[in-house]
Structures are given as C-alpha cells and as structure tokens.
A and B are shown apart, each in its own frame.
Chain A
Amino acid sequence: MAGIPRKLAWRVAEVAETSPDTPRTKSLFLEIPGWEGHRAGQHVDVRLTAEDGYQAERSYSIASAPEDGRVELLVERLEDGEVSPYLTDELRAGDGLELRGPIGGWFAWEAREGGPLLLVAGGSGIAPLMAMIRHSRAAGNGTPVRLLFSSRSYEDIIFRDELERLATGDETLEIIHTLTRSAPPGWEGYDRRIDEEMLGEVAFSPKERPLVFVCGPTLLVEAVATALVGLGHDPSRVKTERFGPTGG
C-alpha cells in the first residue's frame, strides 16, 4: 500500500564532506544509498559501535532541505559526549556512518502546509528549522517565515552567512538574532534570553495563526512555548523539540 513506510532499518551512509560551522559545531554532508527523501524537521538516529561491540545511539536533526542532494547533519561538540566528539573530530570524508531514518513526522513542515511560519531556535536547535527555511526558499511559494535565533555570541551563530544571504532582498524571510553571553561592539540586536516581551515584539500576531516550531535546549523550549501560549497562540500550532540538557 502506498504511504505505509517499510520498517525502519539501519544502513551505512558515506561521509562526502565535513565542514565547520562555528567553533563548536560541524556539518556532516552524507550520501545515503537508496535515501527515499525526508521532510524538513525530521531526524535520523546515528549509531556508533566500538570494537568490543558497545553501541551508542543519538538523534540528529537533518539540516538540509528535501531538495538538496546530500543529507546534512549539524553536530555540536559536547565535551563529555559519547558520540559527538567522534563525529566532529575523527570522522573524515569517505568514512561510513551507520544511521536510520528519516524519523518523526510530527515536528515536520512541508511548503504546501503554508504559514506564516514562526521559527524559534536556541543554538544547534537551528538544524531542523534550517531545513524548513531552505525548503521554503527552494519551494519559492512566498510563505512568510520569521526566525528568532538565540546564540551565545556572534561567533556562535550557526549558518550566519547563509541566513544573511537568504534574507537579503527577500521580504518574506526575516531573521532576528539575540546574543545571550556576549555581543560585539555596536551590536543593535537583542542581547538577552528570549522572553515574552521579545516574542511579543517579534512573533506574528496570534490572529495570523502562525505555525510555530521551537527547537533547542529544554529550558529555552519550555520558556518559549509557555510565553507563546501566554501571548494567545494556539497550543496545537506550537510544536516543540527539546534537545534535553545533555545530548551527546
């Protein structure tokens, strides 16, 4: 029957390229034989196996759009992580990487669903939202998209250049940054954690019934979701993806 997916199976992707995004994050570009495509917002599970058979599994959001040829995963290096230091420091082009996916149809968006689209990201929580931004631009159907992006510092803004490039000359894409730890001299943007006042200034009005996707550390996600509902947004249109406090 059409529409019923086959059972989720592990397979080996080939690393085509790795590229640093910021001092703490890296993009992995993967070629996945037989990849059936994904929807923006979905994730994959990555599995590493040690020589003694010990396995560690982590989920990574797909940052590339369905229209892109390769699958891009964004990995933030966590000092005590079991998985991320291997992915950021050891993995090379040509290596294999065991994964399965795409996974998760709930935190996903397709251009045909329309908008306006409000995206709120904290740090590497940008990954699935970047897939939505890239997808919306590739689809070119004029869905208004607004991204509120919280980063520690200017240097820590992931996909900074690409976001700026995409938003330049495009009235339907607005990017609003806030920097929570340090801001460069002359910074005119927000410089605090996201709060209800900021969301009130930045978000589409509840009357416009935006679709909202929030992704990042648990505390940020819960604060944003609570504030948005407080501002009158329909909870059923606010979708959240908590990274949890640790990750890996």
Chain B
Amino acid sequence: MDENRLDGNAAAGVLAEIFTFEITTALATCARCGAAGEVGSQMAYVSEIGTVVRCSACDNALIRVVRQEDGPQRYWLDLKGVEYLQLQERL
C-alpha cells in the first residue's frame, strides 16, 4: 500500500488555488490510456513536495502541481498527462 495514496478529492484544495472552476468534478481524459473520469475519482498522491493526480486505470501522472511555500505565490503545473480537461459550471 502506498502511504500517500488518496482520492482525487484530496487535490481539490491546491487545485482550487489555480482553477476557478470546480476541479474534482471536471472530466479528465488520460493522454496515455484514453480513460475518462472525474478528477475526484482518480488517485491523488499528496506529499510535502507536491501533489500528483494519477489515472485510476493506468497510473499515468495526469496532473502534477508544486507550490512554492515561501515568498510570492508561485506554482508549477504539469498537465501533459491529460489529453483534455472538461470544466463546467455547476448548476
């Protein structure tokens, strides 16, 4: 068992610092295996270094985000594991 394996929901806080749309209900399609699912249903690995959201089907890294902890707010966001993200307004 991986000690830091959580649900995509665990990445909601840091991603909400970046996205104004709700990210956990956004649909992400994996650039490697093509599986599509809501970000909240993927796996999240949260550590002091940063947060990685992985495809629940093939474990490909979909979203990687690192936040600079000191000084001005600065983020590194790697989305290359995602074919596309579908974000939508909540009604």
Contact A103 B6 (CB under 8 A): no
CA distance A11 to B5 in the complex (A): 28
The chain B residue with its CB closest to the CB of A107 is: B9
Contact B89 A4 (CB under 8 A): yes
Number of A-B pairs whose CB atoms are under 8 Å?
Answer: 75
13 chain-A/chain-B pairs, Cβ below 8 angstroms: A3-B89, A5-B21, A43-B9, A59-B10, A103-B13, A105-B40, A105-B90, A107-B9, A239-B41, A242-B7, A242-B10, A244-B3, A246-B3
CA distance A244 to B1 in the complex (A): 10
Q: Which residues of B contact A236 (CB under 8 A)?
A: 41
Contact B12 A245 (CB under 8 A): no
Q: Which residues of B contact A156 (CB under 8 A)?
A: none
| Given A107-B7, A244-B6, A245-B3: A239 and B40 interface contact (C-beta under 8 Å) | yes
| Interfacial residues, chain A to chain B (CB-CB below 8 A) | 1-8, 43, 45, 55, 57, 59, 100, 103-107, 218-219, 236, 239-242, 244-246
Contact B20 A104 (CB under 8 A): no
Report if B91 contacts A (CB, 8 A). yes
CA distance A100 to B90 in the complex (A): 20
Report if B38 contacts A (CB, 8 A). yes
The chain B residue with its CB closest to the CB of A105 is: B22
Report if B8 contacts A (CB, 8 A). yes
Among A3, A4, A105, contact of B25 (Cβ-Cβ < 8 Å): A105
Report if B16 contacts A (CB, 8 A). yes
Q: Which residues of A contact B89 (CB under 8 A)?
A: 1-4
- With most chain B CB atoms within 10 A of its CB, the pick from A55, A105, A239, A246 is A105
Contact B90 A218 (CB under 8 A): no
CA distance A1 to B88 in the complex (A): 12
Count, chain B residues at interface, CB 8 A: 27
| Additional pairs, 8, CB under 8 Å, beyond known A103-B12, A105-B24 | A4-B89, A5-B21, A57-B13, A105-B22, A106-B8, A106-B39, A106-B41, A241-B9
| Interfacial residues, chain B to chain A (CB-CB below 8 A) | 1, 3-10, 12-13, 16-17, 20-22, 24-25, 38-41, 46, 69, 89-91
Contact B20 A103 (CB under 8 A): no
| Given A7-B17, A7-B20: A242 and B5 interface contact (C-beta under 8 Å) | yes
Q: Which residues of B contact A104 (CB under 8 A)?
A: 9, 12, 24, 40
The chain A residue with its CB closest to the CB of B6 is: A242
- With most chain A CB atoms within 10 A of its CB, the pick from B24, B46, B91 is B24
Contact B6 A4 (CB under 8 A): no
CA distance A54 to B3 in the complex (A): 24
Distance in Å from the Cβ of B70 to the closest Cβ of chain A?
A: 9
Q: Which residues of A contact B12 (CB under 8 A)?
A: 43, 103-106
Contact B20 A3 (CB under 8 A): no
| Given A105-B90, A106-B25, A107-B40: A4 and B20 interface contact (C-beta under 8 Å) | yes
Contact B3 A5 (CB under 8 A): no
Q: Which residues of A contact B39 (CB under 8 A)?
A: 106
Distance in Å from the Cβ of B26 to the closest Cβ of chain A?
A: 9
Contact B3 A106 (CB under 8 A): no
- With most chain A CB atoms within 10 A of its CB, the pick from B1, B3, B6, B8 is B6
